[in-house]
Structure 1
Amino acid sequence: MVKSKVLNNFTFFIIPATPKRLHNIKQSAYESAGAQVIDTLEDEHTPSHIVLVNKEWTYAKVLAYLKVDELPKLTRVVKDEWVSRCIENGKVVEIGADDEILPTTVVKNEPQAEPSEIKQEDKDKFEVLPVKTEESNESDESEYRSNHENTEEPTEKKRKPARDHRKQTGKTRKLTWDSVLLSQPHKVEKTESGNPNQLVIDIFSHLENHYTAAKDTFRALAYRRAVATLKQETDRKITTAEEAIKLKGIGEHLAEQLQEIVETHHSERLDYFHSKVENVALEVLMGIYGVGPAKARRWVGEGVRTLEDALARPDLTPQQRIGIEHYDDFNTKMPRAETQQHFEIVKTVVQKLDKDTIVECMGSYRRKEEFCGDIDIIITLPIGLEPDTEKALVRLREVLLNTVVILAKQGFLTCALTGPDPLAYDYNVSRILDAVGSFDRWYGASTVPSNYGVWRRIDLLIVPPDEIGATRLYFTGNGLFNRTIRLLAQHKGFSLTQHGLFRDVARGKRREKLSEGLLVESKSEHRIFDILEIPYREPEERSM
């Protein structure tokens, strides 16, 4: 029973209107909660909300169903689940990113699709479908939305009608994980600073961050792919939508945005985001080490707007405090040459402690990119040198512990983010073992003499020798390539993690893993590619 008229002053238009029985049930529930439900847009009342009973509908399909080019300015398109939560909670709850269907650029002067079908351009809107990662860095917390903020993005009324550039190029824009992995990869050979498309890259990167914060996975992924593609265009400047649409990973809507940025030197969409103080705060807070999208949304909801606000929080962890104090250092990419200096210092100490160790620098360094975000280093032993896996790990843990103590004492390692702080134990190995025992990874920061005073993020990880192939694949990246190949593996009946390629993995109704399955391969990168029936890609060919 509805306790109060929580939906007073709300006017709903429910779609789809069939089946009639479902429509009547919804209408009765909404009206009991105080809302007015109208049956047609020609009604004297303008709907405050279009309510979607079918959550799979897109904004484009809503317009096609209603046979209109655009909705009234203040009308929002929401899912039925949000209305139900309002009724259940006895109050109007915030509209989260997953509750609202936001508008996209409307293609005018073209025939509208029939109500029963979705336009092909909407089906092909995102080239690669996302897959949930095996590990999650942060729990799914409640969404942030301002109580009084209209979260719709601006309809681009002054822009020229979008043209179907696919018709001009004769190109079909449907790319999936298998076609992406089987397509001819590009090599990245020049620096980001010399890229003639840097302005578009920067703006698209900002938009990716905003959509990541809003948990809009599809849009974030689309911008990420576009950025990766533009980074490869180092010899020419892409200036028109016609040129952009020919590139892998850039669809019609992003092509139109690219042309807008080139012509005006700004983005109306990004301007919209930056017009909201809360949106700017989200992007800033997500740059703090130890603060993910969910935590950033919660902090903004609690009034945090600046790094100074975050620094004053009583629940701030020591790691987050370091992340704020060295915010610029951690968020500025370093030249490849500087990354190599950090790597060589670690490698020299590790191999002095144990001459048999294999030490490799992963991530963007292994992909041979000219700029790196942080330093990811793995330490292992040759396969077969130590047949007993546990004995191999004991040996590697001893090396890791002594490496951390030596490098911290030298001043190269400047702080600990995950793992013990050697300074707290007076650089005494025995005291660390007594207090925390051995460890398999150590995350922190480091600095080199050539750039003394600037801290860089560094991660040290030991790897069982038999897992080195899967580990190399996982830690080389990039993130989009990893997500794509994991989805392909899942489609073929496997599960791919940093520990290996597995088959016969039992999964639940929501695709969660119920068992690890049987190990198929973990020692060889090449063998994993072979089993998945895709050509091997050199590390520098994995920047997607």
Structure 2
Amino acid sequence: MSRFFKNWKFYIIDIKIPKDRLDNCKNQIINHGGQLAETIECADVLLTILKTPLRLARYVPETQKPICSIDWVEECQKNGQRVPYDGYLISLNFEKPYETSRSLEKENLGDTIEISQSESSISDERTSESYTDEEQNSDIETVDDLNPHFLNTKYECLRPTPLMPEHNQSLVELLEVLEHSRELNGEGRNALAYRHAISALKVYPCDIKSYKEARKIIGIGPKIGNHIKEFLSKGTIPEAEEIMASEKYQTLDLFSRVYGVGHKTALAWYRKGYRTMRECMKDPYLTHVQRLGLELFDDFQKKMSRRDIQEILNILDKEIKSIYPNCIITPVGGYRRGKEFNGDLDVVISHPQEEVANNLLNVIVEMLLDSGYLKHKLFYGHISAKNKKSIPNALFSFHRNVMDKLDKCFCAFIQPSAQICRQVDLIIAPYSQYPTAVLGWTGEDYAKKEKKMTFASHGLFSNVISRKRIHAISERDVFDILGIPWLEPEMRNC
């Protein structure tokens, strides 16, 4: 047998390559004397099925190594010799999309929270896993073949969604694997499409019985519909099973659970050949937050029960109110939604007096450090009172990452009874913004598109443009809408 790949090392970017074609490509390389490289750095040639530089750039760092279509390997096999690969080369040269203000601000937090290119700048790229045009333009649709008790809408906030579905649980779990895999590989837009479909299936009031029935649910396109069809015929989704068994998925899943690490850093570590936390700790380019995340990994992976969280809340209540008795302390996030176990605790804190609230974060953090409860500050963001007053609400309403406009500290908090570190996020909200800070991002899309309002954690705004300004709904209206007692401004400084 001809060994025309002798001494050549190939790295295969396996995204989107069907399993049978991937296996065939690997066999051809090995049969003709080639080797499969574990990392891009060790390879002579990179192989892919992706055609566009923009998509390829999500998975390949800038490199001088040739990137070829796997068609080239098949052409070599057909000719019985290594043919020139010039006609099969794929260039990474492209005009980089603009960076949004949201992506730039997220970068300031390191890799803790990432916005993928596919979400922030590739809005025109439609994939087979996204909604169809008909589904995108639908609001609420009634279809005879669907269960009559199901609200068929693209707005998840209109349907109460359980943590664990009563029906279609096995199907949902397999789709969650596919969604997580897309997220880990930087395919944010595809992952979002899966999340929409999973949200609908979690609340669907009976088991899905056919592909036709599934496709009539808003949010389930042809690609996800075909996965459901596979599940109905085989009892599983083969791609999900293969992903769960793969070393790459297991490693990326492990790395991405480190505080301060997103899918980009996880992919970078994997490409460097790292497979364990110990290997990652030796990386010379670790940020301070990533190093803390690795050190605290075991503690942060231990879920908190509601009793654990109550213990921490009792400490916060006692410590904070010993100085400021009128402080309002509200747990939010998963705890507020009723989850039995949580990975972290988010707490919104406010005070009726504005001058107190302006310096509240600094006072609380210093007090918790002195008392020994706060071990590490993972992130600290404080906006001065002067800067807060200089930013009008009209500018706030255009800002996508509005939580950055609230003072906050993400910290490692010692739970006394367990003597382990818990991730506790302290968020300080001025009294006027307290209700919307508690409610968070709930129903943002529905409010924006159907009610002509912009909802964000700093306020609720009506999207009425007049003389190039956006008029915010009054403070009192926000309190009334959310059912929170109103306190007159003059009373807040008493």
TM-score when normalising by structure 1: 0.52
- The answer as to 2:170 corresponding to 1:211 is no
In the aligned structure 1, how far is the partner of 2:278 from the partner of 2:68? 27
Q: Which position in structure 2 is the counterpart of 1:292?
A: 262
In the aligned structure 2, how far is the partner of 1:472 from the partner of 1:522? 15
Contact map agreement 1:358 1:381 (CA 8 A) in 2: yes
Question: Shift in Å at residue 521 of structure 1?
Answer: 4.7
- Written as runs of structure 1 = structure 2, the 5 A alignment for 1:102-121 is none
Q: Which position in structure 2 is the counterpart of 1:349?
A: 319
- The answer as to 2:445 corresponding to 1:445 is no
Question: Shift in Å at residue 216 of structure 1?
Answer: 2.6
- The answer as to 2:426 corresponding to 1:467 is no
Counterpart amino acid of 1:377?
V
Describe the superposition over 1:440-499 as per-residue Cα deviations: whole angstroms up to 9, x where unpaired: 32211234344x14432111121111111221121xx5xxxx4x5246426766543322
Question: Shift in Å at residue 206 of structure 1?
Answer: 2.9
In the aligned structure 1, how far is the partner of 2:216 from the partner of 2:303? 26
1:283 is paired with a residue of what secondary structure? helix
Number of matched pairs: 349
- Written as runs of structure 1 = structure 2, the 5 A alignment for 1:70-81 is 76=49, 78-79=51-52
In the aligned structure 1, how far is the partner of 2:334 from the partner of 2:215? 26
Residues 1:237 and 1:215: Cα distance change in structure 2 (over 3 Å): same
2:315 is paired with a residue of what secondary structure? helix
- The answer as to 2:379 corresponding to 1:418 is yes
Describe the superposition over 1:47-101 as per-residue Cα deviations: whole angstroms up to 9, x where unpaired: x9xxxxxxxxxxxxxxxxxxxxxxxxx9946347679999x99874589xxxxxx
Counterpart amino acid of 1:416?
K
Residues 1:351 and 1:262: Cα distance change in structure 2 (over 3 Å): farther
In the aligned structure 2, how far is the partner of 1:505 from the partner of 1:298? 44
Residues 1:472 and 1:401: Cα distance change in structure 2 (over 3 Å): same
Counterpart amino acid of 1:280?
Q
Residues 1:173 and 1:370: Cα distance change in structure 2 (over 3 Å): closer
Residue in structure 1 matching 2:160, options 180, 186, 192? 186
Residue in structure 2 matching 1:404, options 361, 365, 368? 368
In the aligned structure 2, how far is the partner of 1:525 from the partner of 1:306? 49
Residues 1:462 and 1:167: Cα distance change in structure 2 (over 3 Å): closer
Describe the superposition over 1:117-163 as per-residue Cα deviations: whole angstroms up to 9, x where unpaired: xxxxxxxxxxxxxxx995653477899xxxxxxxxx9xxxxxxxxxx
Residue in structure 2 matching 1:499, options 454, 458, 466? 458
Q: Which position in structure 2 is the counterpart of 1:175?
A: 153
- The answer as to 2:266 corresponding to 1:306 is no
Question: Shift in Å at residue 254 of structure 1?
Answer: 4.5
Contact map agreement 2:168 2:207 (CA 8 A) in 1: yes
Residues 1:320 and 1:83: Cα distance change in structure 2 (over 3 Å): closer
Counterpart amino acid of 1:441?
K
Unaligned runs of 5+ in 1: 1-47, 49-73, 96-131, 144-152, 154-165, 421-438, 507-514, 531-544
- Written as runs of structure 1 = structure 2, the 5 A alignment for 1:122-521 is 134=102, 137-138=106-107, 168-169=145-146, 175-177=153-155, 180-181=156-157, 183=158, 185-186=159-160, 188=162, 199-228=170-199, 238=207, 240-241=209-210, 245=214, 251=220, 254=224, 257=227, 267-274=237-244, 276-382=246-352, 386=353, 389=354, 391-397=355-361, 399-407=363-371, 409=372, 412-419=373-380, 440-450=407-417, 452-474=418-440, 482=442, 485-486=444-445, 488-489=447-448, 494-502=453-461, 517-521=470-474
Counterpart amino acid of 1:418?
F
Contact map agreement 1:285 1:296 (CA 8 A) in 2: yes
In the aligned structure 2, how far is the partner of 1:282 from the partner of 1:82? 19
Unaligned runs of 5+ in 2: 1-24, 26-46, 70-99, 108-113, 119-127, 129-142, 382-405, 484-494
2:426 is paired with a residue of what secondary structure? strand
In the aligned structure 2, how far is the partner of 1:379 from the partner of 1:356? 11
2:427 is paired with a residue of what secondary structure? strand
In the aligned structure 1, how far is the partner of 2:482 from the partner of 2:428? 23
Question: Shift in Å at residue 393 of structure 1?
Answer: 2.7
In the aligned structure 2, how far is the partner of 1:210 from the partner of 1:459? 27
Question: Shift in Å at residue 346 of structure 1?
Answer: 1.1
In the aligned structure 2, how far is the partner of 1:249 from the partner of 1:370? 30
In the aligned structure 2, how far is the partner of 1:463 from the partner of 1:315? 35
Contact map agreement 1:375 1:459 (CA 8 A) in 2: yes
Residues 1:262 and 1:453: Cα distance change in structure 2 (over 3 Å): farther
In the aligned structure 2, how far is the partner of 1:494 from the partner of 1:284? 39
Name the % identity: 22
Question: Shift in Å at residue 336 of structure 1?
Answer: 2.5
Counterpart amino acid of 1:354?
Y
Residues 1:492 and 1:247: Cα distance change in structure 2 (over 3 Å): same
Contact map agreement 2:349 2:429 (CA 8 A) in 1: yes
Describe the superposition over 1:352-388 as per-residue Cα deviations: whole angstroms up to 9, x where unpaired: 2211110000101111222222100111013xxx3xx
In the aligned structure 1, how far is the partner of 2:304 from the partner of 2:190? 28
Question: Shift in Å at residue 332 of structure 1?
Answer: 4.4
Counterpart amino acid of 2:183?
T
Counterpart amino acid of 1:446?
F
Counterpart amino acid of 2:459?
G
Question: Shift in Å at residue 284 of structure 1?
Answer: 1.9
In the aligned structure 1, how far is the partner of 2:363 from the partner of 2:56? 57
